[in-house]
Structure 1
Amino acid sequence: MPPQQEGPAISGLVTGPNASTPIPSAAVWLPNTPQLRMQGLAAPTVTDPGACNPPDNTPYWTCTDAEGRFSLPYGELQGEVELHIRKGSWNSRQTVTLTGADVPLSPLSLGMPRIAVVEGYYDHVEHLLAKMGLGELEVHPYVSGQSRLKAGTERFDILSAAELEEKVALNRLTEYDLLYLNCGIESHVFQPGEEQSLEQLRRFVQQGGTLYATDWELKVIRAAFPDALTGDEGWEGQLDQLIGTVDYPELADWLAAVPCDSGQCVNAQGDITLYHFLSGWRWGVPNPTLHPSTLVKADVDQLAQAPMTWSFRHGQGRVIFSAYHTADDHTHASDYLPQERILEYLFYHDH
Structure 2
Amino acid sequence: MSRIASVALLVALVAAACGDAFSNNDGASGRDGAADAASEGQLDARPVDAPIPVTVSGKVYAPEGTIPIFGALVYAVVSDPAPIPDKVFCDRCVELPQGTPNTRSSHDGAFELKLTPGTWKLVTQKGAFRRVREIVVPPAGLAVDPAITTLPQKTDATKGDTIPKMVVIQGAWDAIESSLAKLGLGQVDANGSLVAGSETFTLYRCTLTQLLPPVVDCKPRPPQDMLKDYALLSQYQILFLPCDSEWLDGVIADPTVKANLLRWIREGGRLYATDYQYDQIRTLLPDYITWQGQSGVAGSAELDSAYDAPAVVNDPDMKQWLAAQGVTTFDLQQSWTIIDSVHKVPTPSFDGKTYDVTPTVWVSGAVPGVGVKPATVSFPYGCGRVLFSSYHTEGAKSQGKSLLPQEKALLYVTLEVAVCLTLPKVN
Deviations 1:251-290 (A, max 9, x none): 11111122xxxxx5333xxxx3111235xx3535332342
What is the deviation of 1:236?
Answer: 4.2
| Contact 2:361–2:378 under 8 Å retained in 1 | yes
State the partner residue of 1:298.
365
Structure 1 Cα separation of the partners of residues 121 and 396 of structure 2: 42
Structure 1 Cα separation of the partners of residues 250 and 74 of structure 2: 39
What is the deviation of 1:317?
Answer: 2.1
Are residue 152 (structure 1) and residue 203 (structure 2) matched? no
- Does the C-alpha gap of structure 1 residues 237 and 131 become closer, same or farther in structure 2, counting only changes over 3 Å? same
| Contact 1:165–1:189 under 8 Å retained in 2 | no
Structure 1 residues 64-73 or 328-337, which shifts more? 328-337
State the partner residue of 1:73.
114
State the partner residue of 1:180.
240
AA aligned opposite 2:151? L
State the partner residue of 2:392.
325
Task: Give SS of 1:121's match.
Answer: coil
| Contact 1:215–1:283 under 8 Å retained in 2 | no
State the partner residue of 2:339.
283
- Does the C-alpha gap of structure 1 residues 187 and 329 become closer, same or farther in structure 2, counting only changes over 3 Å? farther
- Does the C-alpha gap of structure 1 residues 183 and 2 become closer, same or farther in structure 2, counting only changes over 3 Å? closer
Structure 2 Cα separation of the partners of residues 22 and 113 of structure 1: 19
State the partner residue of 1:49.
none
What is the deviation of 1:241?
Answer: 1.9
Map of 1:117-266 to 2, 5 A cutoff?
A: 117-139=168-190, 146-159=191-204, 160=206, 162-171=221-230, 172-184=232-244, 186-188=247-249, 190-192=251-253, 194-230=254-290, 234-258=301-325, 264-266=326-328
- Does the C-alpha gap of structure 1 residues 302 and 211 become closer, same or farther in structure 2, counting only changes over 3 Å? farther
State the partner residue of 1:38.
none
122, 128, 135: which one pairs with 1:89?
A: 128
AA aligned opposite 1:201? L
Structure 1 residues 333-342 or 308-317, which shifts more? 333-342
State the partner residue of 1:15.
61
Structure 1 Cα separation of the partners of residues 174 and 41 of structure 2: 48
| Contact 2:308–2:333 under 8 Å retained in 1 | yes
| Contact 1:9–1:71 under 8 Å retained in 2 | yes
AA aligned opposite 2:360? S
- Does the C-alpha gap of structure 1 residues 2 and 24 become closer, same or farther in structure 2, counting only changes over 3 Å? closer
Aligned-residue sequence identity (percent) comes to 27
Deviations 1:214-273 (A, max 9, x none): 001111111111332257654545245221211111111111122xxxxx5333xxxx31
AA aligned opposite 1:223? T
Q: Which has the higher contact order (CA 8 A, sep 6+)?
A: 2
Task: Give SS of 2:174's match.
Answer: coil
- Does the C-alpha gap of structure 1 residues 61 and 276 become closer, same or farther in structure 2, counting only changes over 3 Å? same
Structure 1 Cα separation of the partners of residues 41 and 105 of structure 2: 18
Task: Give SS of 2:223's match.
Answer: helix
Structure 2 Cα separation of the partners of residues 151 and 231 of structure 1: 35
Unaligned runs of 5+ in 1: 34-52, 140-145, 259-263
| Contact 1:18–1:133 under 8 Å retained in 2 | yes
State the partner residue of 1:310.
377
135, 141, 154: which one pairs with 1:102?
A: 141
| Contact 1:296–1:307 under 8 Å retained in 2 | yes
What is the deviation of 1:55?
Answer: 4.7
With normalisation by structure 2, the TM-score equals 0.66
Deviations 1:161-206 (A, max 9, x none): 55321112222112112111011163346533x2321221122222
Unaligned runs of 5+ in 2: 1-38, 44-51, 80-92, 153-162, 207-217, 295-300, 346-356, 420-427
State the partner residue of 2:97.
57
| Contact 2:72–2:124 under 8 Å retained in 1 | yes
What is the deviation of 1:4?
Answer: 4.3
With normalisation by structure 1, the TM-score equals 0.80
- Does the C-alpha gap of structure 1 residues 328 and 63 become closer, same or farther in structure 2, counting only changes over 3 Å? closer
Aligned length: 312
Compute the RMSD of aligned alpha carbons. 2.7
| Contact 1:130–1:136 under 8 Å retained in 2 | yes
